Amino acid sequence: MAKTNNRKPDFNVYMVSGGGKDRKGFWTKIGAAWKHEDGEGFNVSLEAFPTNGQLVIRAPKAKDDNGE
């Protein structure tokens, strides 16, 4: 696996379970992703793999003054 140079991740990786049309589901962070320097791809590191094979990759939200 490629090194990420200890940079802060560009994206968080989640699995979502139990969702439906009227439910949001349960989001569990299972990894992170970093952009390649040439902008042509990503390195993804996963701590788990969802059984449905679907991942959601989102940019991290800025933390507020309380660190949340």
Q: Which phi and psi angles does 5 have, rounded to 5°?
A: 60, 25
* pLDDT band at 1; cut points 50, 70, 90: very low
**Domain assignment of residue 16, yes or no:** yes
* Domain membership flag for residue 3: no
Residues 19-34 have pLDDT tens digits of 777 778 899 999 999 9
Domain assignment of residue 20, yes or no: yes
Residue of 58, 66, 54, 67 lying closest to 10 (CA atoms): 58
Please give the model's pTM, rounded to 2 decimal places: 0.75
What's the structural domain count of the chain?
A: 1
In a domain, 65, yes or no: no
Would you state the pLDDT for residue 68? 46
Other CB atoms within 10 A of residue 13 CB? 22
Residue-number span of the structural domain to which 35 is assigned: 11-58
* pLDDT tens by residue, 37-58: 999 999 999 999 998 888 999 9
Q: Please indicate, yes or no, if residue 51 is contained in any of the structural domains.
A: yes
The answer to whether residue 41 is domain-embedded is yes
Query: Is residue 2 predicted with pLDDT exceeding 90?
Result: no
Q: Which residue has the tokens 């590191």?
A: 45
